[in-house]
Structure 1
Amino acid sequence: MRAGDTVTLPLVGVAPDLMPKEARRAAAPKPEDDRITGTTWQDFTRGKGVGTLNRVDATELGYPGMKIEAVKDGRVVETATADDDGTFSFSSKADGALLRLPAGNFAQPYNGLDWLGPSLVTPAIIGSYIWMWAGFAMVLIAAGLAGMPRELLEAARVDGANEWQVFRRVTVPLLAPVLAVVTVTLMINVLKVFDLVFIIAPGSSQDDANVLALELYRKGFASDQPGIASAIAVFLLLLVIPVMWFNVRRLRREVRR
């Protein structure tokens, strides 16, 4: 598109009674010398043989709030938002660019509970993950505490150590093997977490709560991009290998003892 050109973006698929309340009668774009102007509207008129295809008719409504992007050399150089009558315009920066409607225009907005909306869905998933794995960590740590020699704790107290010093210099070092198992296990599970994000986050919030495993699934099965999915899988493996290596090395040291 060049400055002075006009563009029409007719769309269908929205029932007339579902059009936004602020939608007004669509207006045909008017050319301007230094701008690219256009209209996006509902190109549908009730009645057989009524209305003209790809032309703004008297009873047709514009799409208020529709986002239009001007793309040049693979990047967005300018974004416009349609008015209530569907009209929009770009400055001379969009000269020579292609216009596109971003996918966000057609994504259903989130209408559920706020704690599953874009701003709080990640903390909600984190809370669910902690709740799910806290029992596992507590059982292992409790077993480690139960097997800890009480004589060492009492000896530290007799030597004048306070409770914080006993905890930091005696309890934690003795629990180090157990804490290492818990930490490594949880790190691996965090890296490959998929089910919680997929189940808890609604479709409109999944982009805000996205993780590697979910993106692998979306690219491989939903978007039909197996190459990107394979690359994500390899990257995920590379992230897990150092953690696994640390765990194997720690186990070998314990076996030698």
Structure 2
Amino acid sequence: MAHRFEITKELEVGASPEAVWEAIATGPGMDSWFMGESEVEPRQGGRARWSIGGYTEESTVTTWDPPKRFVNTGTEGPDGTFHRFDYRIEDRGPRRTAIRYVHSGMLGEDWEAEYEGMSEGDPMYLHKLVEYLTYFSGRFAVGIDAQGPTVPDREHAMSMFRRGLGLGDEAADGDQVRLTPEGFEPIDGVVDYVSPSFLGVRSVDALYRFIYGFDGSVMVGHHLFADNVDAEATRHAWQTWLMRLFDASLGAVAPG
């Protein structure tokens, strides 16, 4: 049985309505803060596509009113499930824009876990949208998504993330940090997001996210704004890092 849900958030950003529109209603804009890869046909009734990890979801642009309102409605599944993303954009003056975000639809059998995950995940992604518009507006990122093993205990997983990055458990929002993940050059940045399931760091040319999914999987969801990023090689490197870090912590043999 499908269960109706709705998550509503309001935020204000230091960017023009046009910059916000580009971020939420175009493929390159969405790829610079949201997970996976997005394509949007820029018109009322246009098709949209979102892909991550071999999974693709189709949707339809049900409202196209630039730069005021964008609504993207997912294709309904056999069980009646679907997602709708509704963005209302309001000009608040010179480089100030309000966004009203409504994520609604119908969830399936595991709706309670899904809703809990979205209730924590949606605010993180909206915060990342604000970070993107504040620090990287007008630039587009290469998105890096990689998934590691399933870890039963969230607290243990987040502690392992910190250990693998060379951080203490006390790392807090606003702290200047140096990340030292094995296999990468050190990354200097500032902690810009901390919650029970997410750790975020912003550097001069990237937004890094370390994620504990609602299904227990550990993931990274990064956005790299540097020039000449080799997306596949970088994704593979972070995938290897995840597997080495968490397979070792779970008592498995890390890949060679």
After TM superposition, is the score higher than 0.5?
no
Larger % of strand: which?
A: 2
Larger % of helix: which?
A: 1
TM-score bracket, shorter-length normalisation: under 0.3
Bigger RCO (CA 8 Å, 6+ sep): 2
Which structure would you say has the larger Rg?
1
| TM-score for both structures, normalised by structure 1 | 0.24
